[in-house]
Amino acid sequence: MHHIPVELGDRSYNIVVQPELLHSIHEFLNELNHGQTWLMITQPSLYKHFGKELESRLTHHGFRVKTILIPAGETAKSIQQVEELYSKMLQLQCDRSTTLLALGGGVVGDITGFIAATFMRGIQYVQIPTTLLAMVDSSIGGKTGVNLPEGKNLVGAIHQPKMVAIDPTVLKTLPKRELISGLAEVLKYGVIDDYDFFQTVGNGIATILDYGDSSLIEEIVARSCEIKSRIVAEDEHESGIRRVLNYGHTIGHALETSLGYDTIRHGEAIAYGMISAGYISHVRGLLSDDEWLTLQNVIKQLPLPDFEIPKPETLLNVIRRDKKVRAGVLHYVLINGIGNAIIADDVTTKELSRSFEILQ
């Protein structure tokens, strides 16, 4: 079992990584239970696999649990869905004491966190991520949000959970494509912060994708959480070092928006974005020939989908609306050697366009 603190003063909380955690989660939530309504937000398939048993277990241990189901897919992260959830919560007599449980992947976690940040000016929530991507990334750090037609997560808030409860054994139920998507984010942590971890993950990709070593999976989840929690503790509101967590995300988000969320998974898009950012780093002399080759070879171990890259102007138009553009300046994450990310504010459209072309 791993207890990983996210040190944020009076908003601090723990990430708990433990196999079979869902069977004993009431023990970790007891101190938060004061007789209030606990509202679980999840999706139909997840409710069938995990939610129904979780609801029953918590009820048995004295929790007043209700459940709302939302549709699967990225399109559920919409203003319309948020409005529907507000109405359902009022019908269920939720109030400022209500605690939300986000049982699911990034979509469930993001929209539940946004509801928690805004319903009656803010209520508590707990993240229970069920995908590798959510375990190592979206459930940690308090970023919440919904999408607009113009781009991802353009409406949101920073609202920290009270706890992140991670049960790595649920990953056995994941489709392999979702595991691949999460592994891209795991690799990201090695690229930006820890070369040894990058090597460990790179050497273990085949084993991880075959669920061949549960202890390795637990360790990569825990180490990813450690890296992100440390960065978040240093820079909660992304005014400095936290920006390095966006490595690969500028182009990744542009690909998601341009191609459609059902065409390419988030992690798949980030994998392509990491190659693109790595290319710019290499051209600028920040990444040696050997490191550039290593970066490509490791990422390409992930079975990524083939698709036609959108036209450069299409991607550039999306990037211009990206949250990482401030006062007209794009803050772009480059790599000054694997394991060391830096922020550049002088990446040109010519460099970006050339980096799109190599993805083809």
Provide the annotated active-site residues. Answer: 121, 143, 185, 228, 238, 242, 246, 249, 253, 266
* Three-class SS state of 305: coil
Instruction: Report the Cα 350 to chain-centroid distance in Å.
Output: 29
22 DSSP assignment: G
Joined together, the tokens standing for residue 308 give: 């036609």
The tokens of 70 are what?
């939302």
Cβ-contact 99, 32 below 8 angstroms: yes
Q: Nearest 5°: phi and psi at 279?
A: -60, -45
Q: Do the Cβ atoms of 93 and 63 come closer than 8 Å?
A: no
Tokens of 290: 């050997």
- How far apart are the C-alpha atoms of 337 and 334, rounded to whole Å? 9
Strand segments (E) across 122-233: 124-129, 143-148, 151-158, 163-166
Do residues 342 and 193 make contact, with C-beta atoms less than 8 angstroms apart? Answer: no
Residue 312, both tokens:
């450069």
